[in-house]
Amino acid sequence: MSQEDRQRWNDKHQQATATREPSAFLRLLEDRLPRTGRALDLAGGAGHDACWLAKHGLDVTLVDISDVALAQAETLARDEGVTLSRLRLDLESDALPPGPFDLVVCLNYLWRPLFTAVPRLLAPGGLFVFAQPTRRNLQRHPHPSARFLLEEGELPTLLQGLKFLSFTEDWTDAGRHEARLLAQKLQQAP
């Protein structure tokens, strides 16, 4: 991403007025997620998911390109009485934080080369949670544009080295057509 992209995301987060809840998809997975260990929230914005994970006992690192979003996440964490590590990174050009992580979350952000890094970020047995609209979403919504949408059936072809625990492509309760995935890095043999 460019400085122009960073500014666009800063402006978007600055103008946001609605209070956001943690992801409904993430909350649906609550019983399957770890309660201890390290978590990485990629492109996590203002930290709603990261704070929710921290409340559930995880040591969370939030990564985003937006300075404004990271400042909002700091305020939210303080208000909710949790601690977050926050890193301003451009996921398309900067090095990712060193793993291993017990959980990696990436919701509503698509950059295909990131999928090759995910297995290396995860600890053995670690989980990857991902959700992104598919091209079918354009039937009802003009955004995100086709550039930021998965083709139907594409997600399973992007991830190698992980066991799929659940995978769906369907219309959500929120009215978006999304590919949703929970995958696990297999335990290493002794």
What structural domains does the chain harbor?
Answer: 31-185 (3.40.50.150)
Query: To the nearest whole percent, how much of the chain has pLDDT over 90?
Result: 81
One-letter amino acid at 16 equals A
pLDDT at residue number 104? 98
pLDDT band at 187 (very low <50, low <70, confident <90, very high): confident
Tell me which residue of 39, 36, 6, 37 sits closest to 22, measured CA to CA. Answer: 39
Report whether pLDDT(123) > 70. Answer: yes
Q: Residue 116: which residues within 8 A CB-CB, separation 6 or more?
A: 160
CA torsion sign for 40, 44, 46, 48 is negative
Tell me the mean pLDDT in the region 114-126: 96
CA atoms within 13 A on the CB side of 180: 16
pLDDT digit string, tens, across residues 166-175:
999 999 988 9
Report whether pLDDT(109) > 60. Answer: yes
Report whether pLDDT(188) > 70. Answer: no
pTM of full prediction above 0.75 = yes
pLDDT band at 44 (very low <50, low <70, confident <90, very high): very high
Containing 131, the helix (H) or strand (E) segment is: strand 122-133
Question: Cα 78 vs. chain centroid, distance in angstroms?
Answer: 21
Beta bridge partners of 63: 42, 87
Order across the sheet with 84-88: list the strands.
84-88, 59-64, 38-42, 101-107, 122-133, 177-185, 162-171
Query: To the nearest whole percent, how much of the chain has pLDDT over 70?
Result: 89
Other beta carbons within 10 angstroms of residue 148's beta carbon come to 14
Tell me the mean pLDDT in the region 45-68: 96
pLDDT at residue number 129? 98
- Please report, in angstroms and rounded to a whole number, the separation of the first and last CA atoms in the chain: 41
